[in-house]
Structure 1
Amino acid sequence: MSPTTPLRPAAVVFDLDGTLVDSLPDIADALADLMVEHDLPPHSHEAARRMIGKGVAGLVERAFAAHGQHPAPDDLKVAVARYLALYEPRAMRDTVLFPHVETVLRQLAADGCRLAVCTNKPTAISREIIAAFGLADLLPVVVGGDFGPPRKPDPALLLAALDLLGVAPADALMVGDSAADVAAAKAAGVRVIAVEYGYTDVAPADLGADWVIADFSGLVDAMAALHGAAEAGRG
């Protein structure tokens, strides 16, 4: 069996928020502080969960839009900068790894998979979070929303991560929690697995992923199932 079959892709690229880490409490609390500063009611954690995705600007824009406000571009830039100033010092206050993440990442790395993160979150804070959990050795490539290429759902950011890994899209797998992750992977020609527990306003089963897992511990079995489906298709 080739090491680049769907059972053991050469590389696995992960989204960060809602996939590897549960960062909702810190994201939502910083967003609540931003709303209060603008004399607006804070959003609940559940409401904030549905706003996450497509980068910080998208999060902030949706938070204002939910109150019927639509800041001008310059005002939005100021609000985004203020949100980051509120969020970054507290980014690790209540953020935790989802269950089984470290164990599975170490298993994949031991099996020879190259691992990376592709997130719409800013690169520097993403790297800080990964390092804080002791995962920097497992995830040496981190491509954030400010890396240069267009953000997900555009495939360019994912392709940039794969280029840094030196792996072709056909030999890779994406793991994420949102429509943006699935769309980026599909457009890049990368197989994609969605997690059920993440941050999305679309039911995970309706995202269009090649496979859906309820828990991160199911990732390796899902990779094997994808391989079995691919083999059956060839037959």
Structure 2
Amino acid sequence: MSGETGTSLAFPKAIIFDLDGTLVDSAPDIGAAVNELLATRHLPPLSLAQAKSMIGHGVKKLVERAFSASGMPLYGGALEQANRDMAPIYRRHLTKLTTLMPGAKEVVAHFHVAGVALGVATNKPQLATREVLLHFGFTDQLGAIVGGDAVSHQKPAPDSLFLALERLRVEPADALMVGDSSADVGAARAAGMAVVLVRGGYTQVPVEELGADMVCDSLLDLPTALHGLRSAA
């Protein structure tokens, strides 16, 4: 664990989690979906590392990046059509290869039992997000689930965080964002929230360089880290 800390982290009334790269490792499924789409255009598959590098800014950006990396960048109507073609493919690849990130179940259960209001704010589409969370048994512990198509502007804009907190009835200053990428930091800062990043996600930039209040080696470190801050406050 490393990074700057503040008393705003010590007593979160709500925690908003990112999904991909934070609660679940969905890169294998996302990569499979991307490669199925590319195959419809007779393009070669991307590696898992390439797919990981494209995650975090929504499905539309994922599709755009995938075709660019394949040497066939798409624009305008062609890109729109590729996004339409991706929708049913993406829905077929949500939970086949996706696994939980270390500590995800334990940490969500810990804070739920402790009475902290919990939510998820992600750039993943709403229906896909709910299906993944339902598959892994999270939905009963979450008071707010906000997908990328539920708001006008995706992370790093703060819209999804504001909507989640509105549903949880918690002010941004009393809440904590937990994610893995610059999009999560940007959204939290724009919302006026503290933010913790967890190693092992999909960021291409070292997490220490993204400006979070705290960096944890895994989600399992989060309760202890916040307990330490609470004791020191």
TM-score normalised to the size of structure 2? 0.92
Residue 8 of structure 1 deviates from its aligned partner by 3.1
Aligned to 2:214: 211
For residues 139-167 of structure 1, the C-alpha deviation after alignment (integer angstroms, 9 at most, x for no partner) is 13110110023000011111111111111
Aligned to 1:92: 95
2:131 corresponds, among 94, 109, 128, to 128
Q: How does 1:72-221 map to 2 (within 5 A)?
A: 72-221=75-224
- Report the 3-state secondary structure (helix = DSSP H, G, I; strand = E; otherwise coil) of the residue aligned with 2:20: coil
- Report the 3-state secondary structure (helix = DSSP H, G, I; strand = E; otherwise coil) of the residue aligned with 1:90: coil
Mapped to 2, the partners of 1:214 and 1:147 lie a distance apart of: 30
Kindly provide the amino acid, as one letter, of the partner of residue 185 in structure 2.
V
Aligned to 2:26: 23
Asked if 1:39 corresponds to 2:42, the answer is yes
Residue 67 of structure 1 deviates from its aligned partner by 2.7
Mapped to 1, the partners of 2:143 and 2:132 lie a distance apart of: 13
Mapped to 1, the partners of 2:9 and 2:74 lie a distance apart of: 45
- Report the 3-state secondary structure (helix = DSSP H, G, I; strand = E; otherwise coil) of the residue aligned with 1:13: strand
TM-score normalised to the size of structure 1? 0.92
Aligned to 1:10: 13
Mapped to 1, the partners of 2:227 and 2:190 lie a distance apart of: 23
Task: Give the root-mean-square deviation of aligned CA atoms.
Answer: 1.6
- Report the 3-state secondary structure (helix = DSSP H, G, I; strand = E; otherwise coil) of the residue aligned with 2:140: coil
Paired residues, number:
227
Residue 112 of structure 1 deviates from its aligned partner by 0.9
What is the percent sequence identity of the aligned residues? Answer: 44
Contact persistence 2:143–2:168 (CA under 8 A): no
Mapped to 2, the partners of 1:205 and 1:148 lie a distance apart of: 29
For structure 2, the 5+ residue unaligned runs are 1-6
- Report the 3-state secondary structure (helix = DSSP H, G, I; strand = E; otherwise coil) of the residue aligned with 1:212: strand
Residue 202 of structure 1 deviates from its aligned partner by 1.1
- Report the 3-state secondary structure (helix = DSSP H, G, I; strand = E; otherwise coil) of the residue aligned with 2:39: helix
Kindly provide the amino acid, as one letter, of the partner of residue 137 in structure 1.
D
Residue 170 of structure 1 deviates from its aligned partner by 0.3
